[in-house]
Amino acid sequence: METLLLLLFIFTLAAFLGFELISKVPSQLHTPLMSGSNAISGITIVGAMIATAHIGGEAAKWIGFGALVLATINVVGGYVVTDRMLGMFKKKDK
């Protein structure tokens, strides 16, 4: 139970931090920010890895494997797409 309370504590602090982190974002950065945070939400890859290695039976393993593939697509695709987009914003040297 104590672990649980600690986890809730972390969750609450993270929520407040997330709210405070973004204040004035210029609108041209909205999409890269959305896309970049989308890549971060692929953190579920960590859960998928743990689920995949489980020795809890064949079904769980395959479901975990599916989660791992999807989460990795989210992570890799998310970071590459965001980087490509931000690469467009180079200041031109005239």
Partner 1 sequence: MRDIAIQIAYIVSAGIFIMGIKMLGSATTARRGNRLSAIGMLLAVIITLFDQGIVSAGIQGYAWIAGGIALGALIGGILAKRVQMTGMPEMVALLNGFGGLASLLVAWAEYATLPVLGLLPVSGEMRFTLIVSALTVIVGGITFTGSLVAYLKLSGKMSGRPFLFAGQKAINFVVMLVLVAATVVLALALKDYSATAFYTLIGGAFLLGVLGVIPIGGGDMPVVISLLNSLSGVAASFAGFIIGNTVLIVAGCLVGASGLILTVIMCKAMNRTLGNVLFGGFGAASSGSGGGAEQGEMKAVSTEDAYYILEAARSVVVIPGYGMAVAQAQHVVKELGELLENNGAEIRYAIHPVAGRMPGHMNVLLAEADVPYEQLVEMDNINPIMPTVDVAIVIGANDVVNPAAATDPSSPIYGMPIINAHEAKTVFALKRGKGTGFSGLENKLFFMPNTRMIYGDAKATVADLVSQMKG
Return all residues near 85 (Cβ < 8 A) that are at least 6 apart. 31, 32, 35
Sequence letter at residue 71? A
Under the binding rule (CB under 8 A), the answer on residue 5 touching partner 1 is: no
Q: Which of residues 8-67 bind partner 1 (CB under 8 A)?
A: 10-11, 14-19, 21-57, 59-61, 63-67
Rounded Cα gap, residues 56 and 32, in angstroms: 39
Q: Smallest gap, in angstroms, from Cβ of residue 9 to partner 1? A: 10
Q: Smallest gap, in angstroms, from Cβ of residue 55 to partner 1? A: 6
Q: Smallest gap, in angstroms, from Cβ of residue 24 to partner 1? A: 8
Under the binding rule (CB under 8 A), the answer on residue 94 touching partner 1 is: yes
Return all residues near 2 (Cβ < 8 A) that are at least 6 apart. none
